[in-house]
Amino acid sequence: MTDSGKQKHDGTTHFGYRDVPEKEKEGLVAGVFHSVASSYDVMNDLMSMGVHRLWKRFTIELSAVRPGHAVLDIAGGTGDLARQFSRIVGDKGRVVLADINESMLRVGRDKLIDQGIVGNMEFVQANAECLPFPDNTFDCITISFGLRNVTDKDAALRSMCRVLKPGGRLLILEFSKTNNPLLTKAYDAYSFSLLPMMGKLVAGDSESYQYLAESIRMHPDQETLEGMMKDAGFVNTVYHNMTGGIVALHKGVKP
């Protein structure tokens, strides 16, 4: 099953494979992440066998972030990217870790404070569809494994473009589509059998990980998402497939 990425026109949207009223999705997604917040890091390592660290490292490299830059990490969760950006931008830079989910934001904040990363960090509870920042604020915006949970992705992309400085970069790291039939078959078996089972054993919650597997399948494919970025005003768009297209990193620039 795939999703064009565009808003449905009947007042509903996707929550995994279910159609739900648009106004209810935010609360449903919040419930998922309230449930998994405390075990999120452990599950990330288990689910990806640690490979998510390589995907995020490539994101950092492609960001071209430099000392003194202002960076916004949307759906920043437990702070993996924000921690690295904080070290790069230094004392004169600024990193904002934003997440719509209070539980995830609290886990990320506590984790970074425990690691001594506080001087140039800010923590903001924010909805990606209507970011609470002035126009032309950030040199770089990242959103890692979060866009598929946003109700109105087009509105979120426009909002991100608005708060970027001209010449600023948006990087979207997200699960995507593989065109390899054997890999797709193996990935489906893993996602819908092993993933919920791991969720039950480690996080005590199989339903949330069932939703996460479904949400990956409903997310726009690489070409569709690139088109959405262009529609939102981004130029020089490009994407890089990783791990056979299971994950893709999209980049766009604000003109």
**Residue set of the binding site:** 78, 99, 127-128, 144
Report yes or no: 13 and 22 within 8 Å, Cβ to Cβ.
yes
Distances from the Cα of 36 to the Cα of 28, 32, 160, 218, angstroms: 13, 6, 26, 20
Residue environment code for 213-236, b if the CB has 16+ CB neighbours within 10 A, otherwise e:
bbbbbbbbbbebbbebbeebbbee
Name the DSSP letter for residue 45.
H
Q: Which residues are annotated as a binding site for S-adenosyl-L-methionine?
A: 78, 99, 127-128, 144
Report yes or no: 161 and 254 within 8 Å, Cβ to Cβ.
yes
For the chain, the first-to-last Cα distance in angstroms comes to 34
3-state SS assignment for residue 171: strand
Strands (E) in 23-117, as ranges, are 70-74, 94-99
Strands (E) in 67-195, as ranges, are 70-74, 94-99, 121-125, 138-144, 164-175
